Amino acid sequence: MGLIFTLSQLGAIFVASSFLGPEDQLFPDPDDPVIPILYILAILAFTFAILYIIKKKRENIVRVIFLGAVAYTIFFVIWIMLISLAGPYPALAVSAALTVVITYYLVKKPEWYVIDAAGILMSIGIIGIFGISLSILPVLVLLVALAIYDAISVYGTKHMIALADGVTNMRLPILLVIPKKRGYSYLEQKPLKEQLDEGGEREAMFMGLGDIIIPGVLVVSAFSFLGDELVGGVSSNLLVALGTLLGSVLGFALLMRFVLRGNPQAGLPLLNGGAIAGFLVAYVLVYQELSFGIAI
């Protein structure tokens, strides 16, 4: 899981540096600190809409929404990487074919390795797009706010556990699934809530894609928006991005100590906290000043 966490963020840096440009930014003003607030409100609305649909036993609607979003994201990630290498029409054909194959298996046989492959592709693409679309200040606001929200939703209202339970039952690709034993089948996975109530040993570990994507946005934002002068033969923005990644990996290691005790844990407080600490320390060491690349 730690390897997937790290490689997804490194893959996002590669995609951002090699295939994405200013024309791919989602927002006209990447410095606008209001954007993350609107984004958080959208997350809240979407989360409670999905929980309401699940409560009404309309899981097929949720499946269509998620699988449509997954298919679009996977197609975009593959297409954006191929178009500069093979041209528009071959890129379109290959991207469409691979998206159809992955989506078919997500519908017909959503085993853990299919779920993880789709999740990694989605993570790389979403991290890359949001990382080039938001500068340092909005990303810091986003990470702090979502860390607080994640803690409240897991330890307070506990609706995030209910959401994870619902999407696990539907075998949707918004979780990483890492088997603890050979021969594990995600198709035979018990509902998470039932497994927690029984108190038995888990057959697999789960991590929401948001726990990879959200701290990764700061990694790619640092790479995209900071100056790129050379420091010891390496570009300064890459050094800070790697320092941010190192901080989030250390947060991940600490998170796993709590997860292995067997209880659900809010990932973003430690992951985002680690990423922010890594960014701040790396920025000061590399740039020798305290503006932290924030445009006011």
* Domain assignment present for 278: no
Please report the pLDDT score of residue 190 as a whole number: 72
When pLDDT is cut at 50, 70 and 90, the band that residue 64 belongs to is confident
Q: What is the mean pLDDT of residues 184-210?
A: 75
Average confidence score pLDDT of the chain: 88
* Residue 232 is assigned to a structural domain of this protein: no
277 pLDDT exceeds 90? yes
Residue 269 has pLDDT above 90, yes or no: yes
Predicted pLDDT of residue 53? 80
Q: Is 267 a domain residue? A: no
SS (H, E, C) the chain: CHHHHHHHHHHHHHHHHHCCCHHHCCCCCCCCCHHHHHHHHHHHHHHHHHHHHHHCCCHHHHHHHHHHHHHHHHHHHHHHHHHHHHCHHHHHHHHHHHHHHHHHHHHHCCCHHHHHHHHHHHHHHHHHHHHHHCCHHHHHHHHHHHHHHHHHHHHHCCHHHHHHHHHHHCCCCCEEEEECCCCCCHHHCCCHHHHHHHCCCCCEEEEEHHHHHHHHHHHHHHHHHCCCCEECCEEHHHHHHHHHHHHHHHHHHHHHHHHCCCCCCCCHHHHHHHHHHHHHHHHHHHHCCCCCCCCC
- Is 268 part of any domain? no
In-domain check, residue 205: yes
Q: Which of 8-12, 62-66, 101-105, 155-159 has the lowest mean pLDDT?
A: 155-159
pLDDT at 237: 96
Largest CA distance in the chain: 59
Q: Does 200 score more than 70 pLDDT?
A: no
Structural domain including 117 reads 2-209
Please name every residue paired with 176 in a beta bridge, in sequence order, or none if there are none. Answer: 207
For residue 231, give both structure tokens: 């420091």
- Is there a domain that residue 218 lies in? no
Give the model's pLDDT for residue 100: 95
Count Cα atoms within 13 angstroms, Cβ side, for 147: 18
Q: What is the pLDDT of residues 66-101, one digit of tens each?
A: 889 889 989 988 888 888 787 888 999 999 999 999
Q: What is the mean pLDDT of residues 252-263?
A: 84
pLDDT band at 258 (very low <50, low <70, confident <90, very high): confident
pLDDT exceeds 70 at position 120: yes
Q: How many angstroms separate the CA atoms of 171 and 164, rounded?
A: 10
For residues 66 and 174, the answer to whether their CB atoms sit within 8 Å is yes
128: in domain: yes
Place 188 in a pLDDT band, splitting at 50, 70 and 90: confident
* pLDDT on residue 198: 63
Rounded to an integer, the average pLDDT of 221-241 is: 93
- Structural domain total, the chain: 1
| pLDDT greater at residue 170 or residue 124 | 124
Q: Quick one: three-class SS letters along 111-166?
A: CHHHHHHHHHHHHHHHHHHHHHHCCHHHHHHHHHHHHHHHHHHHHHCCHHHHHHHH
Domain presence at residue 200: yes
Give the confidence band of 127 by pLDDT, cuts at 50, 70, 90.
Answer: very high
Residues 6+ apart with CB under 8 A from 258: 265
* Mean predicted confidence (pLDDT) in 127-132: 94
**Model confidence at 116: pLDDT above 80:** yes
